[in-house]
Amino acid sequence: MALKATIYKAELQIADMDRNYYETHLLTLARHPSETDERMMIRLLAFAIHASDALTFTKGLFDTEEPDLWQKDLTGAIELWVEVGQPDEKRLMKACGRSQNVVVYPYAATSHIWYKQIANKLERARNLTVINIPAEASAGLQALANRNMQLQCTIQDGQIYLTDSVSTVLVEREDFKAER
């Protein structure tokens, strides 16, 4: 018998002063049986960073041909492809060919090692951005995970604050590779 996804609900209020984006999103996240709370919260963080009406969660771990999030234009062309974790360079290069912009959010303590191993293979990918989420921040995000979440996200000067009614997590992104 196949295991089913665990459903999480989130009311996410976003105040992104860097992009002048202020909106509340009611989100449903399906957590794959093999996915951790930490990874799911990084997906939620990625949504907050790139939030728009067109950004959607995909089948993710349930379908290996799709990213964790994507944004398509009205013609169905992929404008933004978002990966969470440490995908291999072949997957990333394929994504760069299919999408206008690709963003990867590695978050494990081994992210520096992963990136060092594939950095030279990704040099020609001009539409690729790799942003590391430090281990302390991802652990803090994991602590916010709850089946029914009410979260506020504030983004200003590149710093991200994610808070529930009790705790606040500061996320200071570390750029491994910026889009050229």
- Identify the helix (H) or strand (E) that includes residue 63: none
Only one residue has tokens 């995000």, namely 141
Q: In the structure, what pLDDT confidence band is assigned to residue 168 with cuts at 50, 70 and 90?
A: very high
What's the farthest any 2 CA atoms get from each other in the chain? 48
Q: What is the CATH number of domain 6-177?
A: 3.10.640.10
CA 26 to chain centre: 17
Q: In the structure, what pLDDT confidence band is assigned to residue 5 with cuts at 50, 70 and 90?
A: confident
Question: pLDDT tens digit string along 19-36?
Answer: 999 999 999 998 888 889
For residue 34, how many other CB atoms are within 10 A of its CB?
Answer: 8
Domain boundaries, the chain: 6-177
Shortest CA distance to 82 belongs to which of 96, 65, 97, 67?
67
The 3-state DSSP composition of the chain as helix, strand, coil percent (nearest 5) reads 25, 40, 35
Only one residue has tokens 């440490």, namely 86
Question: pLDDT tens digit string along 72-130?
Answer: 999 999 999 999 999 999 999 999 999 999 999 999 888 999 999 999 999 989 999 99
Question: How much is the pLDDT for 66?
Answer: 87
